[in-house]
Amino acid sequence: MLRRKYDAKVTRELAVMRIVFALIGLVACVAILGFYLWRLQNFERSVATVEAVWDEEVNRRGTTIVTMAELSFSRTAPMGEAIACRHQFEIGTPRDGFKVGDKLDIVPATGTCQRVDIIGRSGVNP
């Protein structure tokens, strides 16, 4: 393998570029995580009921088994009316032990029933 030799100025610039790009990546990750946490704290929450549960095999860096569920919940539209939703979501793994009738705390998207952030099991489980 042939290595190139750079002069001192180019070597310094390359080192600075590595540091700058790493910092830009870190700032971007922190901003995305911050926005996600802000969304969980400030958007309206809802309680979803698990209507059906099944395990499904997916390919993510190999074969993995995930727990899918049909959730029913209501979300508030921008005009203030409540909209009933029922949709399928991945909610965890088989070892989480979800069953029909479980209640989950969620943050539904404001414009659709097809996206939610699952916070965890609700304190109102039967």
Distance CA 107, CA 36 (A): 11
pLDDT at 54: 92
Average pLDDT estimate for 87-93: 89
To the nearest whole number, what is the mean pLDDT of the chain? 86
pLDDT at 24: 96
Return the higher-pLDDT residue of 30 and 111. Answer: 30
Antiparallel, parallel or unpaired: β 63-76 and 82-92: antiparallel
pLDDT at 122: 80
Return the higher-pLDDT residue of 53 and 111. Answer: 53
pLDDT at 62: 85
**What is the DSSP track for 57-72?**
EEESSSEEEEEEEEEE
Q: Are 27 and 35 in contact (CB under 8 A)?
A: no
Distance CA 23, CA 42 (A): 28
Question: Is pLDDT at 121 greater than 90 in this prediction?
Answer: no
Q: Which of 32, 52, 51 is nearest to 40 (CA)?
A: 32
- Residue ranges of domains in the chain: 1-42, 45-121
